[in-house]
Every structure is written in structure tokens, then in C-alpha cells.
Structure 1
């Protein structure tokens, strides 16, 4: 629900969301949660003023309860009561920060940039097609004897055909940094691929036991239900077994954590060596995240919107370390960021960005945490302010 509070303060909330916020705030326990959320963040201006959560609550409650169906403009004095800074650059940015005191911080692992800058599709015969996201075309095999798939701008669509007696043939779709793409598999499953992602999948699901795909990177799955043929997403550190549901899987090579976040339905999360044993694994429910880090599996309740915002082109940070934000910025904008200001890695931010350049995003961070940056083509160097 804190997402709705942020949207309300940013004047980005819809009428339906505003009604939901009004109903939510009527409950005393939710009023307490709201005040705790405000207290957990600091207003990031030069004075680092303390937050008056009571004033913030009363102001928002008054505004919310007075008019149910009118979206109002919120001015800066009101926002200061709510402990946020709103920076308008055509749309609203929300930035909060908390600073961890970390000594002897080690340099985070470097991100390896994909060598190609174009979306490519490798067919089963080894031929490679370059996909421009504004094209509509039919893609055939190397000798042109059979249609493999149709491209509809930024989406590939495989036709549903009878799987019996068809040889299992895999295609590989590679989406580089700075781009996103969508694919509809032959069973009707729709997958959105984030920047820096590779997906290997069958042209036709001819395996009689399961539907298997292989992921490196991040993707959002809307799996077509088929109880007789479970859908399995294989990653380096985690496998996800489903019948039909919607979920997000993140498994980047330069990240320490592989995770699955469930939007609806249910999924079973397994370690790679557990896939053939149906008696093991962990089942998660909607609004839960299963994560494997350094071999340890954990499950927790999460705000799903944070993990699927990328499907709408939104950068969504929620108390995230700058070191982790850098990795996401590199993927989103197809740039290399060299951070020479190591203390900045442990600063935490909350905020959302959409339709912004990398310079605009860094300027917002810069207004609240003093540092300098230089942009040289696709290389950004961050240094402490003098």
C-alpha cells in the first residue's frame, strides 16, 4: 500500500487507487502502518529535518477523505509535511535516503556488458536473425523451407502446432542492455524479457513430460495452464516449477541473489539438483518472494510492484543500496558506470523514474548526495565532490 501513498504524494494516483487508499486509511492498524512508513524515511533536504508523522498522517487523511473521486495537485509545503521531496522534470521523482555506516567496503563485482547492442534470435539450425523492434516479418529457417516464427514489432509469436512426433528444437533469444522484448511461445505462454537477458526455449513443446525453458537475466512469465505438462524455468541457482501462473524470475550473472516473485497462482521453487524429486521444493504464494543467496533459500512477503515495474519501463528503488542501483542503471541504459566514490555504495535510496535519461536520474541522486560524474559516450565515472 505504500506504493499508493507515494503515488498520491506524487500526484500520479488514479481515481480507483485513491478510493482504495481512502478505505485502507480508515482502519486504525493501517493508520499506524502509515505513520511507521513515514518515520522510516528521512526528508532529504539540506537540514535533514525530522519527520512529524502525525502531521503527515492528518494532512493526507484530510485530503483523502474529503473528496473521493478528484485527483488533486499537491504543493511543495504539503509534501514537506509528508516527508518527501518532489523534483519535477516533466514527471515526478521521489527520493529518500538512509545511510549505512560500512567500514572497509569492498568494491562490488564488475558488470560484464553484453558484446552486442541488438536483439538477436538464434534458430535451431545455427542461423542468427537480428530483430529490430519496429519490424513486422516472418522468420524462416536457414534454407527458407519452413516458417519458424513471426515478429510483430517488439514481440515474437510462435504458432501452436501439434507436438506429437516433432523433434525438440531450441531457439535462443538474446536481449542486450538498454532493450526489452516479448515472446509468445507455442503453448500460449507470454514472456517479457528485461535488458541483459538470454532465454532458451523449444520451438514446440514436444517433451511429453514438461515444458522447459532456460533463463539468464530477468523475465516476467504469464504461463498458459496445462496440468499435464508443468512449466519449468531453469536458472543457474534455482528452478521454478508451475502449472499456470504469473511470476517474475531474476537471475543475473553479476548478482548474488536469484529470486522468484509471485503475482498470482502458486509456484514451487527448487534448487537445480532437486528438479526430479517432486517431494522437495518450496511452494510460495502471491506477494511472496523466494530467493537463493549463497546457497541459502529464504521466503518473505514483498511489494510485487517493485519487482515487475520494469515491465512498464519504470525504475523502482525501495531502500536499495546505490551499489545495486548502479547495476540496474547499467542494464537499463546500456552504459558502464565506474564508481570511484566507494562510500556512496552503501547509501540507500527510494524512488521511481520513468522516461528519464541517465543524466536526469543521476542529477536527482546528485541533488541529495554530493558527488560528481562525467559522461563519456557509454562510460560514466562517479567521483566525490571536491
Structure 2
């Protein structure tokens, strides 16, 4: 058999869960060499035709494959929904985890999607299309990212403000009138001016979580106000998580520099604000924007924090039969585009037992 065909067939056997231990060992070695680009693309295309229903999921997985070579095997498993959706290093003696019987009978809970409502200065609210990923506030009206119209006219007068909010299970991007981009996470909202020209500052109010790419204007700083802090920038990329039901706010800098109250933040630093105190620590900034990249990343993260993210994204409520479980910590990477029952099976791999009842998740360990 031709070598390329051999590798394709090996991948097919893997995604169909038919590969034996010898074949898995060989596949592991080939993946480690980065010698499977073409073959993986072929099998991914086959899987797309057979299994997947969302082009967005495919784009997310393709991006991850090129960005994280060592995760290829797990990503292939994700594509056919036979893995745990945790991205973990391959081990040939690792036991497979099959979906539990209780999940197979549960309501199918899908991940979040693009959905938001914008409220204009005159009080008019517009439900934004789930087929679009974002909107642009422009002089010629309000448009979607692809140029199609949302509204022909918007109020650009001085002091005119608008707001956009996402529900639980929603995300949306906003390009402000100055060219700055804001990606809203689930259950979040921003209030902003529809025209920053002539104003001394570009002020925006945030409740929830958002990722900012701020257009540089040297003489017009960009200020984000949350429940307990003020973040001042000129032009940079950063993430703020400031949900009302969290005990603290997290501000993480990706590039540039920002000032939080009177403290300066540098790239790969994170400021935690709690009870009027700010603590700064070194982090991997990419972990803070995992949600924007279609992932849940955890590094010694508490179960409580992770499940808050799950609750917001999947629009579910989470209950603990033992409150001590909230403090359990673990590390891993999890796709935000898994169905919730697949996600819970992934948690089971880490010893976290759950029960799903309609839109309620019970942690039962």
C-alpha cells in the first residue's frame, strides 16, 4: 500500500475507534513528527461530510490543529465527537471513556452562538442576527461585519450612547466608531458613545467579560469602567472579566500597556481587583482569551470558576451536592463547541461526576 494511503487509512481506523494498540503507537509517532498534514486534512474533510453540522466548529478545530501540533490526535477525536473533548497528550494504555447511559437520555444542550441585542439612544432595541458575527458602528449607519445593513441611521450627536448585550449562551463583536473592536462573552454588556469625535476620552462601561482591540489615538485615551475599576489605555489588546456575581475582576494584558487605577500593567500580566485591592501576577495571557478562541483553558483552576463559565456559555444552572467540590482544581483544555453532555463526560475523566436534568447540572461526587 502506498505510504500516504497507509497513513490515511490509519487515521480512519483511529477516528472510527477501530485502531489496535500497535496502530495507535505508530500513529502517535507519526503525529509527533508532524508528518500528517495532508492525511489529516483528507480525513477531516471526510468527517465533515459524515458528522459535523457547523462550519464554525470546523474552522475552530482547523485553527487549533495548525496552532498546536502536539494536540493533533485529540483534535481529530474531537472532530468526530468520539473523544472526551478534553485535549490531552495521547497515551496508548489510556482507557477510553464512553458516554454514560444517563447522558444518552438527556436533553441535548448545545453550546452558545452569535446572538445579541443592541439598544439605541432613542430606546429602540434590535435583535441582531445569529447568522452574523458582529456589527460596525459607522457614519453611514449600523452594519453587520459583512456590510449588510442593520439600520440606515443612528444618532451620532454629542453625548449619544448605545448599548449591546449578550444573553447566557451568546457572544458578539462590536466595532466602535473609532475603529476599536470589542468581543463580548456570554451574559455581558457594554454601553458606549456612538461617536467619539471631539470628546476628550473614549469611555465605555462593561458588565461581564469582553476582549478589546483598541485603536490608537494618542490624545484621546480609551477608558473601560467596570463595577470596581477603571482601565485607561491608548491603544492595546486586553481582556476584562468583571461579572457582577464574581467576587473579583480580572484584567489581562495581551499587548501594549494599560493603567488600572494607579497601577501599570505589562503584557502577560493580570490584575485581580477585589475589595479595593489590586494584585498583579504573571500569566499566560492566551489563557485569559481562551473563550474568544473557542476553548475553556484551565491551569489549576477551581471547579467553581470553570462551571461558572460553562453556566454562562451553555445557559445552564449548576448545583453542588457538596460545596467542598467547588475548590477542586485541575488543568486541561476543553472545546467550547462540544455539546454539554460530551463536556460532562470529559469532566468524568478527571473524577468529577455529574448528573444532567434538563438545563440543570448537578455535581454529585
Establish whether TM, by shorter chain, passes 0.5: yes
What are the within-5 Å matches in structure 2 for residues 232-381 of structure 1?
232-270=223-261, 281-354=262-335, 355-369=337-351, 371-376=353-358, 378-381=359-362
Which runs of no fewer than 5 residues in structure 2 stay unpaired?
Answer: 1-28, 40-69, 90-113
For 1:121-167, what per-residue CA distance to the aligned partner results, in whole angstroms no more than 9, with x for missing partners? Answer: 10000111111221599999xxxxx96411236999999x9x8xx32
Does residue 364 of structure 2 align to residue 383 of structure 1?
yes
- Residue 172 of structure 1 is aligned with which of 143, 163, 183? 163
Residues of 1 paired with 2:176 and 2:239: CA distance?
17
- Residue 93 of structure 1 is aligned with which of 80, 83, 86? 86
- 1:120 alignment partner in structure 2: 117
- 1:132 alignment partner in structure 2: 129
Residues of 1 paired with 2:271 and 2:150: CA distance?
30
Does residue 142 of structure 2 align to residue 149 of structure 1?
yes
Contact 2:257–2:264 (CA under 8 A) maintained in structure 1: yes
Residues of 2 paired with 1:231 and 1:207: CA distance?
13
* CA pair 194-359 structure 1, distance change in 2 beyond 3 A: same
Residues of 1 paired with 2:327 and 2:339: CA distance?
23
Contact 1:148–1:203 (CA under 8 A) maintained in structure 2: no
Residues of 2 paired with 1:137 and 1:195: CA distance?
14
Contact 2:354–2:361 (CA under 8 A) maintained in structure 1: no
Contact 2:182–2:212 (CA under 8 A) maintained in structure 1: yes
After TM superposition, the score normalised by the length of structure 1 is 0.63
SS of residue paired to 1:324: helix
SS of residue paired to 2:290: helix
For 1:11-55, what per-residue CA distance to the aligned partner results, in whole angstroms no more than 9, with x for missing partners? Answer: xxxxxxxxxxxxxxxxxxxxxxxxxxxxxxxxxxxxxxxxxxxxx
TM-superposed CA distance for 1:356, in Å, is 0.8
Runs of 4+ aligned residues of structure 1 deviating over 3 Å after TM superposition are 69-73, 85-92, 135-140, 152-159
Specify which structure has the higher proportion of helix: 2
- 2:184 alignment partner in structure 1: 193
* CA pair 155-282 structure 1, distance change in 2 beyond 3 A: farther
For 1:215-242, what per-residue CA distance to the aligned partner results, in whole angstroms no more than 9, with x for missing partners? Answer: 0011111100001100001111111101
Which runs of no fewer than 5 residues in structure 1 stay unpaired?
Answer: 1-62, 74-81, 97-116, 141-145, 271-280
For 1:83-119, what per-residue CA distance to the aligned partner results, in whole angstroms no more than 9, with x for missing partners? Answer: xx979444651469xxxxxxxxxxxxxxxxxxxx952
Tell me how large the CA RMSD over aligned residues is.
3.8
For 1:201-259, what per-residue CA distance to the aligned partner results, in whole angstroms no more than 9, with x for missing partners? Answer: 01101453110000001111110000110000111111110111111111011111112
How many residue pairs get aligned? The number is 273
